[in-house]
Amino acid sequence: MLWFLVRRILAAVPILIFVAVFIFMLLHLAPGDPAAVAAGPNASPQQVELLRQRMQLDMPLPDQFMRWVANLARFDLGVSIFSNQPVSRLIGQRLEPTLLLAFTAMLVAVSIAIPAGTIAAWKADSWLDRVVMMFAVAGFSTPVFVTAYGLIYVFAIELGWFPVQGYTPLGTSILDCLQGLVLPSLALGFVFAALIARVVRATMLEILAEDYMRTARAKGLATPTIVIVHALKNAGVPTMTVIGIGFAILVGGVVVTETIFNIPGLGRLTTDAILRRDYPVVQGVILAFSAMLIVVNILVDLSYALFDPRVRG
Amino acid sequence: MPMTGRMKTLAATAVMAMALGLGPAMQGAAAETVLRVKLDGELKEIDPIWTSNYTVRDHAYMIYDTLFAMDDKYNVQPQMVDKYAVSEDGKTYTLTLRDGLKWHDGTPVTAKDCIASLKRWGKRDGLGQQMMARLDKFEQVDDRTFRIVMKENWSLVLPALGKISSTVPFMMPERLANTDAFDQVKEPIGSGPFKMKIDEWVPGSKIVYVKNQDYVPRKEPPSNAAGGKIAKVDRIEWLVMPDPVTAVNALANGEIDYLATVPPDLTGLVAKNKNVKLQVVNLLGKQVQVVPNHLNPPFDNVKIRQALQLALKQEDYMQAMFGKQTEFYQVCGAVFFCGTKFETEIGTERVLKQDFAAAKALLKEAGYDGTPIVMLHATDLPEQNLWGQVGAESLRKAGFVVNDVTSDWATVASRRASKKPIAEGGWHLFHTGWAGPDMLDPAVNVLVSGGCVEKAWFGWPCDAELERLRAAFASTSDAAEQKKIADQVQARAHEIVTFVPMGQFRQLTGYRSNVSGVLTAPVPFMWNIAKN
């Protein structure tokens, strides 16, 4: 197991190097000028040019790249062109809301999807199965902002049970923090529940058709035991894979939900930085995402051992 | 056991004593008033000299103060200055600061700080650069008094020092003002009515200010940026909300107290909410402008630029933004804004009347050969996106061939700085929107500059007559003479088409009914606002 971990971590190094080079080139070759954005609308062309020189954006690209790599080697992600704040601090400020939202959304998704997918497979072709599949299609097809606005209208504005927007840090108030995460978690969880339910159903249908399942039924085992203890456990590996991918997406790519519910997450930080061409922030965040994705994949791989004894071996 | 009369008296006395004893403690523990606001934009930088961004300007008014400021008649009034004198020849200004002014770090505000601040501001601001070019020297007289000695009688010294919009000459401690003007100051230390809590700043999400207990407001009532700036709340939380629907819902739900701009298509969400008031507080508003590039053919030809004026219609732009809500906009051809002292209709014939036939005739006369007009069109900013769509359609109807180049604002901002030909990444025109205070007169309005590639704003009009008129404006303090010159500037600007004004508009501000004291001003000032 330890050697497995070491190998995976070592394999991550060339991936991160490739990501670093790729994102640097992509950013700097794309049109746009952070000096022009930073100078503001009233600045004269001369002011913009002077600012560009001061920001050293007129340096040759290889020189800029080497400076950035030299900082990276010291684990220094640099400083935002605009706010002058260390990139690591900006990421740190956004980690708690991002991870909490990802966790709660995935909790909602899994809590709905696994029972729903299991029931759908167990009662395949019945009305229950059709209801679950309709829910899956609806979840997949409905844009998250539609779900979000609908939840806000009913539960925040009309009923007043939850706030419309905002994030309260855990350290300030656990109750307020969780209350603020309910609606965004439901909005996101609905989408991922649909995805995971389909995967669970498909996998379970395959497993329930296996010979050993027929043997289990012939032995007289109760249906719940067959479905949950034997079948569902064997569906764990593909399910965990989808959950892992979903978690990675939740960490990095839910800017629409973060915008609607005003959650200061990494998605918004990235989008804002891209629109402003805040190069150090974009580079730092993309590297951080890559590292997180690698960690999530390692954890998913480790989790396979829980479901498949052959992996443990 | 039943209480005797004596016991009842003792108990009542004890209760009263407890109440009296607790009273002061309860007063001391009174909850602080927190005003939650959503202003326009996201605060990503904090140095208002380093950038001219309006969001940073709004932030800066909370924590900084100015030597002079404009009142609601746009007259310059002393602010940090207690008294001032101007020499008979008009070249020497002696300014004495008010007593008791302190920086947020507790040190006193001195003349040295103000001199350093003005020097730094003068390197970045257009009007400030003009002032520094005419400056002979600064002289410190004592800790609170200094002189500005000019080489010539320049009538714009006080208007420059009292400038209300970017770049505002905010005062900073000398140690910070000595920062190079092209680097950002590291600490937000001012002498204004609020202090920024940098430790609670989450860039792009939340900015926190607390009342400056040491601030000494002027005694006059508040008037625009002038007068007494009394902080009536203990804490302000500026929340960044990129989604306007979320912001309006948050106002309706009481999760924020003040929303600087309620989009016109969302007013219905709060119009009938008894707990929300809607009001136009920025009476000057903003203006939309189309800016042609005088360097690149065919817009190097004045007739083609005049055809541009005839092709576009202000109502089209305004209706795209406001629909049937006509009360929020006005058709206005004035380059110095309608509703101001330099408003005039001189030279606006082509600007106020769309005429496709006349535009086509001018294009033919000018020999327009169908060169595609490269129009820079930012689609990530809702207003810019609308303007681009409306503009492209109108130009095509007038006979122009349009290459509508869509991108994000950062790309537009980058490309508009290019003076190169189209084949090398140049451009022909773009849209922009300036606020009233930045367009009030020939001195501050960069869109009427004829300073060519060396000094003009993007578009680079080159006209010696315009520059002569602007210099003449700056050298007279006679109001009638200034008005006459401003009229001539407008006539000339419309003649050579430095830009095309596309309508003037205002937007609603929303705030909760338990909020009072919101000032009518072109900038969202947070002093004087109370929350019950």
The owner of tokens 């990276």 is A72
* Digit-coded pLDDT (tens) for B70-114: 999 999 999 999 999 999 999 999 999 999 999 999 999 999 999
Residues of A in contact with B415 (CB under 8 A): 31
Dist CA B50 CA A84 (whole Å): 12
* Average pLDDT, rounded, for chain B: 93
CA nearest B37: which of B526, B532, B528, B501? Answer: B526
* End-to-end alpha carbon distance in chain A: 10
Nearest residue on chain A to B124, alpha-carbon basis: A47
Q: Measure A53 CA to nearest chain B CA, in Å.
A: 9
Q: Is the dihedral of CA A277, A281, A287, A289 positive or negative?
A: negative
Q: E-strand spans in A147-272?
A: none
Compute how many other C-beta atoms are within 10 angstroms of the C-beta atom of residue B318: 22
Dist CA B375 CA B392 (whole Å): 8
CB contact under 8 A, A262 and B417: no
pLDDT at B44: 86
Mean pLDDT on B279-300:
96
Of B53, B242, B411, which is closest to A259 when you measure between CB atoms? B242
CB contact under 8 A, A165 and B380: no
Between helix A266-276 and helix A236-252 the angle, nearest 10°, is: 50
pLDDT at B11: 46
Of A80, A157, A259, which is closest to B249 when you measure between CB atoms? A157
Dist CA B181 CA B132 (whole Å): 14
Paired tokens of B268: 């219905």
The answer to whether residue B8 scores a pLDDT higher than 70 is no
Q: What pairing do the DSSP bridges indicate for beta strands B34-38 and B258-262?
A: parallel
| 3-class state of residue A261 by DSSP | coil
pLDDT at A313: 54
Residue of A29, A158, A165 to mutate for B, most B C-beta atoms under 10 A: A165
pLDDT interval class at B17 (50, 70, 90): very low
Mean pLDDT on B238-260:
96
- Calculate the CA A5 to chain-centre distance: 22
CB contact under 8 A, B410 and A90: no
Q: Is residue A311 within 8 Å of residue A251, measured between CB atoms?
A: no
Residues of B in contact with A262 (CB under 8 A): 239-243, 246, 250
Residues of B in contact with A85 (CB under 8 A): 203
CB contact under 8 A, B241 and A276: no
Residues of A in contact with B44 (CB under 8 A): 80, 82-83, 272, 276, 278
Nearest residue on chain B to A148, alpha-carbon basis: B246
CB contact under 8 A, B45 and A83: yes
Q: What pairing do the DSSP bridges indicate for beta strands B34-38 and B235-239?
A: parallel
CA nearest B352: which of B298, B316, B400? Answer: B316
Q: Measure A274 CA to nearest chain B CA, in Å.
A: 9
Within an 8 Å CB–CB cutoff, is residue A157 touching chain B? yes
Mean pLDDT on B522-528:
96
Q: Which residues of chain A have pLDDT under 50?
A: none
pLDDT at A208: 83
Q: Measure A150 CA to nearest chain B CA, in Å.
A: 12
Within an 8 Å CB–CB cutoff, is residue A34 touching chain B? yes
pLDDT at A35: 86
Does the N-terminal peptide bond of residue A98 adopt cis geometry, omega within 30 degrees of 0?
A: no
Dist CA B156 CA B90 (whole Å): 11
* Digit-coded pLDDT (tens) for B142-185: 999 999 999 999 999 999 999 999 899 999 999 999 999 999 99
DSSP B228-292: -----SSEEEEE--S-HHHHHHHHHTTS-SEEEEE-GGGGGGTTT-TTEEEE---SS-EEEEEEE
* Digit-coded pLDDT (tens) for B174-215: 999 999 999 999 899 999 999 999 999 999 999 999 999 999
A263: left (phi > 0), else alpha (psi -120 to 50), else beta? Answer: beta
Paired tokens of A123: 């009662």
CA nearest A206: which of A124, A132, A137? Answer: A124
Does the N-terminal peptide bond of residue B298 adopt cis geometry, omega within 30 degrees of 0?
A: yes
CB contact under 8 A, B410 and A36: yes
Q: Is residue B270 within 8 Å of residue B276, measured between CB atoms?
A: yes
Dist CA B34 CA B210 (whole Å): 9
CA nearest B410: which of A265, A40, A56, A60? Answer: A40
Query: Is ipTM > 0.90 here?
Result: no
Residue of B37, B38, B49, B50 to mutate for A, most A C-beta atoms under 10 A: B50
**Whole-number percent of chain B with pLDDT over 70:** 94
pLDDT at A310: 67
* Digit-coded pLDDT (tens) for B390-444: 999 999 999 999 999 999 998 998 899 999 999 999 999 999 999 999 999 999 9
CB contact under 8 A, B446 and A42: yes
pLDDT at A234: 79
DSSP A220-241: T--HHIIIIIIIIHHTHHHHHH
Of A41, A50, A83, which is closest to B44 when you measure between CB atoms? A83
Dist CA A300 CA B6 (whole Å): 77
B431: left (phi > 0), else alpha (psi -120 to 50), else beta? Answer: beta
Q: Is residue A217 within 8 Å of residue A227, measured between CB atoms?
A: no
Within an 8 Å CB–CB cutoff, is residue A164 touching chain B? yes
> What are the residues whose beta carbons fall under 8 Å from the beta carbon of B234, sequence distance 6 or more?
B32, B33, B34, B210, B211
Task: Give kind and range of the element (H or E) at residue B509.
Answer: strand B508-512
Mean pLDDT on B253-282:
95
| Phi then psi dihedrals of residue B509, to 5 deg | -110, 145
CA nearest B149: which of B91, B207, B211? Answer: B91
pLDDT interval class at B332 (50, 70, 90): very high
**Whole-number percent of chain B with pLDDT over 90:** 89
Q: How far is CA A3 from CA A10, A310, B458, in A?
A: 10, 17, 61
More confident residue, B512 or A123: B512
Nearest residue on chain B to A30, alpha-carbon basis: B411
